[in-house]
Structure 1
Amino acid sequence: MRMAQRIARAMLVALAAMLVLSNLIYASITARGEVGITTVAELILVGGVLVLVRSSRARRRAP
C-alpha cells in the first residue's frame, strides 16, 4: 500500500510541475502574463501536493 501511495504522490508532483512549467512557457511566449483559470487550478494542485508531503512527513516523525 505504501508503494502505491508513493507512486500516486510522485505522479501528482510530476503533474503539478508539468502544469506550472507549461503555463510559464506559454506566458513567456505570449508575453501577456494573464492569470486565468489554469493558474488558479495549478495553485490549488500545488497546494494539495504540499499538504500531502507535509502530512506524510509529520506521520513519519510521530512516534
Structure 2
Amino acid sequence: MSEINTAKTAQEQLTKAHEKYMHAVNHRDTAVQIARQAGVSATELATHLGLSRQQVHKILKTETKQ
C-alpha cells in the first residue's frame, strides 16, 4: 500500500509542477505579446529569450487567437 501512496504523492507533485509550468508559459507568452506590441522585433525577442524566430511567431499567433 505504501507504493500506491508514493505513486499518488508523485502524481500530485507532477500535477502541481505542470500547473506552475503552464502559468509560467502563459506569463511568458503575454510578455512576448506586450513586447511585440511595443515595437520589439521577433528577432530581438528570440535572441533574448533563447528561442527561434519561428517559436516567437508561433507564440504571437497563439496569443492573437485567444
TM-score range, shorter chain: 0.5 to 0.7
Superposition CA RMSD, Å: 2.1
Q: How does 1:5-44 map to 2 (within 5 A)?
A: 5-29=14-38, 31-35=39-43, 36-37=46-47, 38=49, 40=51, 43=55
CA distance change for structure 1 residues 39 and 27 in 2, over 3 Å: closer, same or farther? farther
Unpaired runs of 5+ residues, structure 2, are 1-9, 56-66
Unpaired runs of 5+ residues, structure 1, are 44-63
Deviant stretches of 4+, over 4 Å: none
SS in 2 for 1:40: coil
* Higher RCO (CA 8 Å, separation ≥ 6 residues): 1
Query: Does the 8 Å contact 1:27/1:34 carry over to 2?
Result: yes
SS in 2 for 1:3: helix
State the aligned residue count: 41
Percent identity, aligned pairs only, is 5
Q: Distance in 2 between matches of 1:27 and 1:20?
A: 11
